């Protein structure tokens, strides 16, 4: 099978490679770009450990082909911090103990990051709905929800549009 | 960097994140049948090339059988769906997976034994056995009892899968002398013991290094065939070999927990005083000896007297073979089952006598320490229950409408203690624990203990991941033992470090400690049980379709000294949701042919963030007399929750609840 | 879990896509968002030699309205439809149905056309489209044709769309004034799949008589099922509790569920009966 050239921008950096069409985006991110913060948990598009933001929208990168993401922009968990400073959503997960084993965390963060981009002041219900495609086996979700609320507060308080950034939001 | 910060930055190094040059990727060819004779296996590494029985290591593992041992590869027969038959490998994981279909396997399918009750009378699944009974033990003493009230009922807790979000995985490498395994695990020492036995290597030639471990809940403590296969291939090829479990493999072939049934008979007088308990516990051990299946039935039987003063008890504990993956520990591991069976009977008695369920429990509580006929050692439960009634906010009126309570005993795996090492070097303190962290926040209690004992700022203290080269011995992180046993080992080791500093310098100070090089390894030995009490209250609603909503789950536990409140609440709420999952949705189901019906993590019933139960967590903080002051914690929230919910649903619907998950038609 | 090998094409135009499908015929399959197809490929339940990705054909991504229907280009993401702001009361059902598909992350990648074309009897939009008596435009080497949703599904994962054709547009009819509807997804205890789901759309005249009624169900048969008899039974008279009960009985008989771990055949019939009544009541309240 003919390999395809793909060019994907991850966290602002371009990665070009010739890949098998069957290569999943999550494996491109982990193995080609070497960014292992994005995890694989379930193989069946249930757990969301592999969540990344693709052209402004949170998607499950285990259910996207790398070739589908050709010429697109991706943000992964490694792209949240700026100049070493944690993004408010990362801060809040640490502060509110929104993680235990840390494995689902990157997916949780990316979905939360996406949610807070489109909705700066989500209700608890909206947070829980947004996270319904991300499974956590450790926390019972309570502290994750608290963390997202906390991050929302932080983001609104800072009124810093720079923090809410990068990809435009579509309808 | 604190581990939480590392994880939010995506900088964790879980097993699949570790990569070596020249690495091979292994895939496993597994049985398509629950039971079959293998007519032909051609290709890959298979039983003809290499085989070895798997040693029983880790939590609750027992092996009394020479026969029916789980082998690395099936040879003549396969006995469960997903049983390994061969291993293939390539230098790319995609190609490795392609190779699975290159192995030719011919089966002669046989009728599998799936239901544990039917297994009792079915033809033995292993030749050379008289029956499918793998173990039978009687606990307590036979008794005569002519009490006026005799109640009988039967219960079942279905098997459920541990399902940490990170699946299992391993990397093996061999340098010509030493075999090194990187692995997500609860116990590097159990893995070493198992690998040494399987590969016939002395301990000094096997090095186990823990990777960041993305949850375990019981499934990462023992030896699995894939770890041995990877070791074999690494030694054969002299290249690093990685194997990462798929979720489907996890659902089929990682050891599930629960899978226990009970027939219970309770004797009582008309005041509600329980006078005797008979029971039969039946555990679905799965296809082979060596897991927890053998031990599990007697462990459940041991706990059946609960928080109650019951003077007569006689319990038959049975474990049977079935054509399913061997049973293993899942958070709670026998404790939730015991609580469910006992508490369901206590509720039945309350209904029979039209008594308030809490009053009935209080009436049967003990005011003195008590050793039950099944050998369960407890302290005075009555004072605990009185406090629990208040702390749980128990209202008798609500208990007739939508509320259930459950009392339980947490039996931590206290024995034989645990190890720790504390080292001062380059101005920092490094700590190792014999039981390995996989999400429970050991780092926080280690920092706190070191700070208290040695005065060192928490940011200068690091908890290292497990490494067999770093310590002489260690047990494991399971059975609610880490803060009580691991924490005690750290405490004692820290005190010894302090003594070393004082001895060297004539007095102790933090700067003296940090300026020098000190190193203490300590095995904190403990040979008794250290049981504690817990209680849950659940409130539910049930809609017209029979859908259950757990509105509230309140916990009140005797936890001893609390080392980190946020962490403790996190553990409890997370465990509560696992308890809710067991009760409402989690299940592993097979059809009569032994084919898996629950083939994704969602089908297996993992609940999502849309569950909006309100959690209330309270605890008794009277310290234990152990050096850490802690008592057991980790499993508590999974023990009382199912029983409390079952009762709440029972009073809400008027339907007797006997099984988990609950199915209201 | 990783897919077997395949060849991949990402045509920029519809014509190219059809050309590729024509060339590879049965060996090719359309990839839209991939949210149903990729899990199948990953589990190796199926393998497909040629994938034709229509995700780069910009002309297939749109939401517009004409006086009769909401027209949705087939590669429009489910989340884009979910966030569409002008459904009004007449098409409120679409908001509910789209929001109940899988989870938000899958909706960000999955497409409207894919949800309809895949033929999974548990998918949500087919029942809605059937209830509304909507249709799809199918484009192939011979040009375009329209297929009524109620005629689209032949069996599980089998539709009347040929292997060299693509669903290019989905038409959700607007039933006009005094119409509304609802989608109720009765989910399994965990996860996003339904045990049964019902789509109901109704329209009453000035006197409160039922002028039009459409209902369809998912997950209780090899295909989504248009509840023809029960829908027709509702038309022409007042929507009374008795009429609902009667039609609901009819609905329970029109489905062909199988017994599984989620329930017996009778339990599922009973469930659809209840959902029919609840859905009808809910739709009425929205008028």
- The pLDDT tens digits for B488-498 are 999 999 999 99
Q: Which residues of B touch C192 (CB under 8 A)?
A: 602
Q: Given an 8 Å threshold on Cβ–Cβ distance, is B246 in contact with C186?
A: no
DSSP state of B465: P
Across B107-123, average pLDDT:
96
Is residue A134's pLDDT more than 50? yes
- What is B280-322 written as a DSSP string? EEEEEEESSBTSSHHHHHHHHHHHTTTTB----EEEEEEEEE-
Residue C189: the pLDDT is: 87
Give dist(CA B158, CA B327) in Å, integer.
Answer: 12
Across B205-230, average pLDDT:
97
Which subunits count as partners of chain B given 3+ CB pairs below 8 Å?
A, C
- pLDDT single digits (tens) B359-396: 999 999 999 999 999 999 999 999 999 999 999 999 99
Specify which residues B362 forms β-bridges with. none
Is residue A162's pLDDT more than 70? no
Nearest residue of chain C to residue B664 (CA atoms): C263
Q: Given an 8 Å threshold on Cβ–Cβ distance, is A68 in contact with C55?
A: yes
Cα B315 to Cα B136, B299, B302, distances in angstroms:
10, 11, 8
- pLDDT single digits (tens) C29-67: 999 999 999 999 999 999 999 999 999 999 999 999 999
Q: Taking an 8 Å Cβ-Cβ cutoff, which residues of chain C contact chain B?
A: 1-2, 4-5, 43-44, 103, 186, 188-193, 260-261, 263-264, 267, 271, 274
The class level of CATH for C179-285 reads alpha beta
Give dist(CA B211, CA B204) in Å, integer.
Answer: 20
Side-by-side strand order, sheet with B403-410: B403-410, B532-542, B548-558, B614-620
- Interface-testing mutation among C12, C104, C110, with chain A (most A C-beta atoms within 10 A): C104
CB of B409 closer than 8 Å to CB of B300: no
- Residue ranges of domains in chain B, CATH in brackets: 3-110+168-244 (3.90.1170.50), 260-412+529-660 (3.30.365.10), 417-525 (3.30.365.10)
Residue A171: the pLDDT is: 38
pLDDT band at B65 (very low <50, low <70, confident <90, very high): low
Nearest residue of chain C to residue A21 (CA atoms): C8
CA distance C122 to chain B (A): 14
Q: Given an 8 Å threshold on Cβ–Cβ distance, is B605 in contact with C190?
A: yes
CA nearest neighbour of C271 among C197, C201, C167: C197
Q: CB under 8 Å to B661, separation ≥6 — which residues?
A: B158, B582, B583, B584, B585, B586, B587, B605, C189
- pLDDT single digits (tens) B126-173: 998 999 999 999 999 999 999 999 999 999 999 999 999 999 999 999
Is residue A167's pLDDT more than 60? no
Q: Using CA atoms in the order B474, B476, B480, B482, what is the torsion angle rounded to 10 degrees?
A: 50
Q: Which residues of A touch C75 (CB under 8 A)?
A: none
Give dist(CA B15, CA B226) in Å, integer.
Answer: 14
CB of B522 closer than 8 Å to CB of B492: yes
Can you read off the two tokens belonging to residue B104? 């030719």
- Interface-testing mutation among C190, C260, C274, with chain B (most B C-beta atoms within 10 A): C190
Which residues in chain A (106-135) have CB-CB distances under 8 A to chain C? 111, 129-130, 132-134
Residue A169: the pLDDT is: 42
Give dist(CA B80, CA B62) in Å, integer.
Answer: 20
Q: Given an 8 Å threshold on Cβ–Cβ distance, is C1 in contact with B97?
A: yes
* Helices and strands (H and E) in chain C: how many: 10, 14
Q: Given an 8 Å threshold on Cβ–Cβ distance, is C190 in contact with B94?
A: no
Give dist(CA C110, CA C113) in Å, integer.
Answer: 9
CA distance B614 to chain A (A): 9
Smallest Cβ distance to C267: which of B587, B600, B665?
Answer: B665
Percentages helix, strand, coil for chain C, rounded to the nearest 5? 35, 30, 35
Percent of chain B having pLDDT more than 70?
Answer: 99
CB of C218 closer than 8 Å to CB of C126: yes
Q: CB under 8 Å to B76, separation ≥6 — which residues?
A: B37, B38
Q: Using CA atoms in the order A110, A116, A118, A123, what is the torsion angle rounded to 10 degrees?
A: 120
Is residue B546's pLDDT more than 60? yes
Nearest residue of chain A to residue B637 (CA atoms): A140
Q: Which residues of A touch C80 (CB under 8 A)?
A: 170-171
Can you read off the two tokens belonging to residue A120? 């700066």
Q: Which residues of C touch A133 (CB under 8 A)?
A: 102-106
B297 touches chain A (CB under 8 A): no
Smallest Cβ distance to A44: which of B11, B12, B600?
Answer: B600
Nearest residue of chain C to residue B28 (CA atoms): C1
Q: Which residues of C touch B27 (CB under 8 A)?
A: none
Across B634-663, average pLDDT:
97
Q: Given an 8 Å threshold on Cβ–Cβ distance, is A141 in contact with B609?
A: yes
Give dist(CA B407, CA B388) in Å, integer.
Answer: 9
Residue A170: the pLDDT is: 43
Q: Given an 8 Å threshold on Cβ–Cβ distance, is C2 in contact with B93?
A: yes
**E-strand spans in B543-578?**
548-558
Specify which residues B180 forms β-bridges with. B173, B207
CA distance A77 to chain C (A): 16
Question: 3-class SS at C153?
Answer: strand
Region label for B507, one of left (φ > 0), alpha (ψ between -120 and 50) or beta (otherwise) = beta
Is residue B71's pLDDT more than 80? yes
Residue B63: the pLDDT is: 63
A70 touches chain C (CB under 8 A): yes
pLDDT band at B246 (very low <50, low <70, confident <90, very high): very high
Could you say which of 3.40.50.300, 3.30.1330.60, 2.40.30.10, 3.30.43.10 is the CATH number of the domain covering C7-53?
Answer: 3.30.43.10
Q: How many residues does chain C have?
A: 287
Nearest residue of chain C to residue A56 (CA atoms): C108
- What is B210-244 written as a DSSP string? EPB----TTTTSS--HHHHHHHHHHHHHTS-EEEE
Q: Which residues of B touch A136 (CB under 8 A)?
A: 165, 609
CB of B451 closer than 8 Å to CB of B445: no
C191 touches chain A (CB under 8 A): yes
* Helices and strands (H and E) in chain B: how many: 15, 26
- pLDDT single digits (tens) A9-54: 999 999 999 999 999 999 999 999 999 999 999 999 999 999 999 9
- pLDDT single digits (tens) C149-185: 999 999 999 999 999 999 999 999 999 999 999 999 9
Residue C225: in which H helix or E strand, if any? strand C225-226
A58 touches chain C (CB under 8 A): yes
Q: CB under 8 Å to C203, separation ≥6 — which residues?
A: C175, C176, C178, C179, C210, C211, C212, C213
Q: Which residues of B touch A39 (CB under 8 A)?
A: 14, 16, 165-166, 214
Q: Given an 8 Å threshold on Cβ–Cβ distance, is A43 in contact with C35?
A: no
CA distance A13 to chain C (A): 22
- pLDDT single digits (tens) B194-212: 999 999 999 999 999 999 9
- pLDDT single digits (tens) B2-27: 899 999 999 999 999 999 999 999 99
pTM for this entry: 0.97
Across B507-518, average pLDDT:
96
Residue B192, Cβ density class (10 Å: 0-12 exposed, 13-18 middle, ≥19 buried): buried
Task: Give me the CATH topology for the region C62-173.
Answer: 3.30.465
B573 touches chain A (CB under 8 A): yes
Residue carrying the six token digits 């409408």: B401
Residue B290: the pLDDT is: 80
Residue B207: the pLDDT is: 98
Q: Which residues of B touch C191 (CB under 8 A)?
A: 600, 602-603, 606, 608
Nearest residue of chain A to residue B184 (CA atoms): A101
Side-by-side strand order, sheet with B461-463: B461-463, B428-433, B417-425, B518-525
DSSP state of B27: E
Give dist(CA C30, CA C16) in Å, integer.
Answer: 12
Write down the domain spans for chain C.
7-53, 62-173, 179-285
- pLDDT single digits (tens) B435-472: 999 999 999 999 999 999 999 999 999 999 999 999 99
Q: Given an 8 Å threshold on Cβ–Cβ distance, is C261 in contact with B597?
A: yes
Which subunits count as partners of chain C given 3+ CB pairs below 8 Å?
A, B
């Amino acid at each position: 099978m003919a390999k395809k050239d793909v060019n994907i921008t991850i966290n602002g950096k371009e990665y070009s490679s010739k890949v098998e069409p069957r290569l999943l985006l999550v494996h491109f991110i982990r193995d080609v770009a070497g960014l292992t913060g994005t995890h694989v948990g379930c193989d069946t598009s249930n757990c969301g450990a592999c969540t990344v933001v693709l052209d402004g929208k949170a998607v499950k990168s285990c259910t996207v082909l790398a070739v589908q993401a050709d010429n697109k922009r991706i943000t992964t968990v490694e792209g949240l911090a700026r100049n070493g400073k944690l993004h408010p959503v990362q801060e809040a997960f640490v502060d509110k103990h929104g993680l235990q084993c840390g494995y689902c965390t990157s997916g949780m963060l990316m979905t939360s990051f996406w949610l807070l981009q489109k909705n700066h002041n989500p209700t608890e219900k909206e947070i829980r709905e947004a996270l319904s495609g991300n499974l956590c086996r450790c926390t019972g979700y309570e502290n994750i929800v608290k963390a997202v609320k906390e991050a929302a507060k932080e983001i609104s308080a800072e009124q810093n549009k720079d923090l809410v950034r990068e990809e435009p939001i579509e309808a | 960097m604190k581990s939480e910060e590392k994880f939010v930055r995506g900088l964790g190094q879980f097993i699949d994140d570790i990569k070596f040059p020249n690495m091979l990727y292994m895939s496993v060819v597994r049985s398509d049948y629950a039971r079959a004779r293998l007519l032909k296996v051609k290709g890959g590494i298979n039983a003809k090339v290499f085989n070895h029985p798997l040693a029983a290591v880790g939590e609750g593992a027992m092996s009394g059988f020479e026969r029916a041992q789980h082998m690395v590869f099936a040879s003549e027969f396969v006995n469960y769906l997903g049983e390994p038959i061969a291993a293939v490998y390539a230098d790319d994981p995609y190609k490795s997976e392609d190779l699975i279909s290159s192995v030719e396997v011919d089966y002669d399918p046989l009728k599998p034994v799936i239901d544990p009750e039917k297994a009792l009378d079915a033809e033995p699944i292993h030749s050379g056995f008289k029956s499918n009974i793998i173990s039978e033990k009687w606990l307590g003493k036979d008794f005569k009892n002519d009490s006026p009230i005799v109640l009988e009922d039967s219960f079942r807790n279905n098997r459920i899968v541990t399902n940490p979000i990170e699946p299992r995985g391993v990397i093996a490498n061999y340098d010509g002398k030493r075999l090194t395994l990187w692995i997500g695990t609860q116990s590097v020492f159990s893995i070493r013991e198992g690998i040494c036995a399987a590969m016939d290597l002395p301990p000094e030639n096997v090095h186990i290094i823990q990777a960041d471990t993305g949850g375990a809940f019981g499934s990462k403590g023992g030896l699995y065939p894939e770890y041995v296969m990877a070791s074999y291939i690494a030694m054969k090829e002299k290249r690093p070999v990685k194997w990462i479990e798929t979720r489907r493999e996890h659902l089929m072939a990682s050891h599930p927990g629960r899978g226990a049934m009970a027939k219970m008979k309770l004797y009582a007088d008309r005041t509600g005083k329980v006078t005797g308990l008979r029971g039969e516990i039946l555990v679905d051990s799965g296809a082979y000896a060596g897991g927890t299946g053998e031990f599990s039935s007697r462990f459940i039987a041991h706990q059946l007297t609960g928080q109650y003063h019951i003077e007569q008890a006689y319990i038959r504990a049975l474990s049977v073979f079935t054509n399913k993956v061997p049973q293993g520990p899942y958070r709670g591991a026998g404790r939730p089952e015991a609580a469910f069976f006992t508490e369901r009977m206590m509720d039945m008695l309350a209904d029979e006598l039209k008594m308030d369920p809490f009053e009935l429990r209080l009436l049967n509580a003990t005011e003195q320490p008590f050793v039950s006929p099944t050998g369960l050692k407890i302290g005075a439960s009555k004072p605990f229950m009185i406090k629990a009634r208040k702390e749980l906010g128990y209202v008798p009126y609500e208990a007739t409408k939508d509320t259930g309570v459950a009392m339980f005993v947490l039996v931590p795996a206290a024995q034989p203690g645990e190890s720790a090492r504390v080292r001062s070097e380059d101005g920092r303190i490094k700590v190792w624990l014999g039981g390995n962290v996989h999400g429970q926040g050991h780092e926080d209690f280690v920092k706190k203990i070191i700070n208290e004992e040695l005065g060192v700022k928490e940011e200068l203290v690091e908890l290292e991941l497990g490494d067999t080269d770093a310590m002489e011995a260690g047990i494991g992180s399971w059975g609610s033992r880490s803060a009580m046993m691991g924490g005690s080992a750290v405490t004692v080791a820290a005190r010894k470090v302090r003594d070393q500093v004082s001895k060297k310098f004539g007095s102790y100070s933090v700067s003296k400690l940090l300026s020098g090089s000190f190193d203490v390894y300590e095995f904190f030995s403990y040979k008794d049980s250290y049981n504690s009490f817990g209680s849950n209250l659940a409130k539910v609603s049930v809609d017209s379709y029979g859908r259950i909503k757990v509105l509230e789950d309140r916990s009140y536990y005797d936890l001893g000294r609390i080392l980190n409140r946020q962490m403790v609440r996190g553990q409890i709420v997370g465990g509560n949701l696992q308890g809710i999952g067991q009760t409402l949705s989690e299940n592993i189901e097979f059809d009569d042919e032994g084919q898996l019906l629950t083939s994704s993590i969602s089908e297996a019933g993992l609940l999502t963030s849309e569950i909006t139960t309100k959690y209330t967590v309270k605890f008794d903080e009277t310290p234990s007399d152990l050096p850490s002051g802690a008592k057991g914690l980790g499993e508590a929230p999974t023990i009382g929750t199912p029983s409390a919910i079952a009762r709440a649903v029972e009073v809400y619907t008027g339907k007797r609840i006997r099984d988990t998950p609950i199915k209201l038609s | 879990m990783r897919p077997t090998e395949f060849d991949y094409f990402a045509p920029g135009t519809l014509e190219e896509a059809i050309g590729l499908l024509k060339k590879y015929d049965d060996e090719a399959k359309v990839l839209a968002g991939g949210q149903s197809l990729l899990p199948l490929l990953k589990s190796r339940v199926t393998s497909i030699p040629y994938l034709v990705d229509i995700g780069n054909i910009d002309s297939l991504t749109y939401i517009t309205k004409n006086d009769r229907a909401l027209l949705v280009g087939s590669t429009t993401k489910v989340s884009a439809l979910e966030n569409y702001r002008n459904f009004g009361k007449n098409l409120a059902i679409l908001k509910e149905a789209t929001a109940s598909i899988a989870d938000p992350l899958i909706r960000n990648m999955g497409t409207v056309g894919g949800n309809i074309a895949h033929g999974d009897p548990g998918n949500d939009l087919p029942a809605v489209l059937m209830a509304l008596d909507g249709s799809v435009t199918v484009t192939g080497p011979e040009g375009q044709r329209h297929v009524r949703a109620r005629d689209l599904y032949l069996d599980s994962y089998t539709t009347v769309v040929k292997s060299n054709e693509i669903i290019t547009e989905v038409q959700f009819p607007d039933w006009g004034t005094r119409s509304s509807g609802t989608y109720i997804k009765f989910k399994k205890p965990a996860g996003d799949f339904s045990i049964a789901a019902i789509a109901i759309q109704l329209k009453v005249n000035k006197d409160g008589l039922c002028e039009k009624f459409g209902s369809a169900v998912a997950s209780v048969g090899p295909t989504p099922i248009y509840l023809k008899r029960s829908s027709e039974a509702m038309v022409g008279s007042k929507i009374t509790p008795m009429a609902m009960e009667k039609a609901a009985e009819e609905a329970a008989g029109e489905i062909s569920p199988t017994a599984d771990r989620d329930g017996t055949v009778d339990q599922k019939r009973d469930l659809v009966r209840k959902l029919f009544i609840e859905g009808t009541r809910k739709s009425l309240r929205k008028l």
